[in-house]
Each structure stands twice: as structure tokens, then as C-alpha cells.
């Protein structure tokens, strides 16, 4: 009997929307970078000048 693989499996080929879409990992990474930039440029100078604590 011949072994046949199923080539129409859904996960074997990503759709066009998933490749160019803004997925959850990208959103969380962007949020983390934005939060770090906010802390470095806004919160850290207040701490270093002694205005916050």
C-alpha cells in the first residue's frame, strides 16, 4: 500500500493576512519598547534629579 501525505493541511502554508498582519506578539513587543522609552526619557530624569523620591 502506498503512503500518501495530506498536502492540504491548514498549518503548512500561512495565509497572506497572517504574514503581513499585526499579530499579538508584535503588539506586545511594541508596547514593551514604548514603555521602556517612556521610563527612560520621562521617569528616570525625575528620579536622578531627586524630584520623584
- 2-52 pLDDT, tens digit per residue, is 776 666 655 555 555 555 567 999 999 999 999 999 998 988 888 888 876
The overall pTM is greater than 0.85: no
Output the pLDDT for position 20.
57
Q: How far apart are CA 25 and CA 42, in angstroms?
A: 26
Q: In the chain, where are the structural domains located?
A: 20-53
Output the pLDDT for position 10.
57
Half-sphere exposure of 24 (CA within 13 A, CB side): 0
Amino acid at each position: 500500500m502506498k503512503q500518501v501525505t495530506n498536502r492540504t493541511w491548514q498549518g503548512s502554508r500561512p495565509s497572506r493576512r497572517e504574514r503581513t498582519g499585526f499579530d499579538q506578539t508584535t503588539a506586545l513587543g511594541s508596547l514593551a519598547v514604548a514603555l521602556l522609552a517612556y521610563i527612560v526619557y520621562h521617569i528616570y530624569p525625575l528620579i536622578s534629579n531627586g524630584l520623584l523620591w
